[in-house]
Amino acid sequence: MKGKQRRRRSLRGSNRIAVDTFDLSHVVDVEDFAKDEMELQKLAQMRVLVAAEVGGEKLNSLASAFPSSYSNLRLLRFLRKSKSRNVASAAARFIECIKWREEWAVDALIDDCRLPPRKYQEIRRMFAVEIKEVEGVEDTLRRTTVVLSADKWDSQGLMRALAEAQLELDDFLLFWIMRYEQIHKMLYERSLETHGLEYADLRCELKDLRLSSFSRQFVNEVVPKWLQITQDFYPETSNKIYFVDPPKIITAVWKVVGRFVKRGTKEKVVMMKTS
């Protein structure tokens, strides 16, 4: 604890002027979340670039209304997406994220599902996902865990529903955007509790995986758009991605799906057997 207090005083002493240029009231002790003084400086620089593009008053207003989406903790995830902590590219990505959120009216999803109950339940039936807080796989720390029952997913059913106009691709994407918003709200609240940037564990249940779980049409027409949203607009979400009880066909499935997954995401994948 004393070490952390000394570090906090050091960060505040050298960077207080730069950080105080902005309204940080929506984040408690932002210094707690930076790994070092350099990262804190880059976070302040990144916010300058973003504010110059979208307007400082607008950015502060968004951060106050939707802190899990626009506060410094969310900016920090975009900054950490680059191992070199490139400020310009991180700011550009976050600006694109803001434009995308406006285009899709993502902030309104918090109060308005926008998906008719029938469509929501149908997609939920075909793509089971559970979000909860449990102890980590490799430690006893409580962590937000996203359980994807991927071996039960019905991608062929989704493609039939799209072909018959019972569902639209945007319906599917909105369903997952709502899930990502839920995850990041939990991560934000957990981060404030622990005074550290929290990440989720992603647990993919694969025991009964079949090639039909990821039909070719689904992989070619849906997966790229789905993963683009995940990787471009929700970076640095996962701590580890566990492939649980993967069958032999995982090699073939991963060869097809993996080409859409970025290297940083691939590096988080861990194969895990439970029996």
Two structure tokens written together for 157? 């059913």
Other CB atoms within 10 A of residue 29 CB:
12
Lowest mean pLDDT among 158-162, 251-255, 260-264: 251-255
Mean pLDDT of 72-83: 90
Q: State the pLDDT at residue 263.
A: 87
Mean pLDDT of 123-130: 94
More confident residue, 250 or 20: 250
Q: State the pLDDT at residue 135.
A: 66
Residue 130: exposure state from Cβ atoms within 10 A (0-12, 13-18, ≥19): exposed
Question: Tens of pLDDT along 196-245?
Answer: 899 999 999 999 988 778 888 999 999 999 999 999 999 999 999 999 99
Two structure tokens written together for 129? 């996902």
Annotated domain spans of the chain: 2-104, 117-272
Question: Tens of pLDDT along 25-68?
Answer: 444 456 778 778 888 899 999 999 999 999 999 999 999 999 99
Q: State the pLDDT at residue 82.
A: 79
Mean pLDDT of 116-139: 84
Q: State the pLDDT at residue 2.
A: 38
pTM (2 d.p.): 0.83
Q: State the pLDDT at residue 264.
A: 86
Instruction: Assign a CATH topology to domain 117-272.
Output: Phosphatidylinositol Transfer Protein Sec14p (3.40.525)
More confident residue, 98 or 215: 98
Q: State the pLDDT at residue 59.
A: 92
Mean pLDDT of 137-148: 77
Q: 7 pLDDT exceeds 60?
A: no
Mean pLDDT of 65-79: 93
More confident residue, 17 or 215: 215
To the nearest whole number, what is the mean pLDDT of the chain?
84
Q: Which residues contact 251 (CB under 8 A, 6 or more apart)?
A: none
Q: What are the two backbone dihedrals, phi and then psi, of residue 244, each rounded to the nearest 5 degrees? A: -90, 125
Q: State the pLDDT at residue 186.
A: 92
Residue 2: exposure state from Cβ atoms within 10 A (0-12, 13-18, ≥19): exposed
d(CA 20, CA 219): 47
Q: State the pLDDT at residue 22.
A: 44
d(CA 70, CA 26): 10
Q: State the pLDDT at residue 37.
A: 86
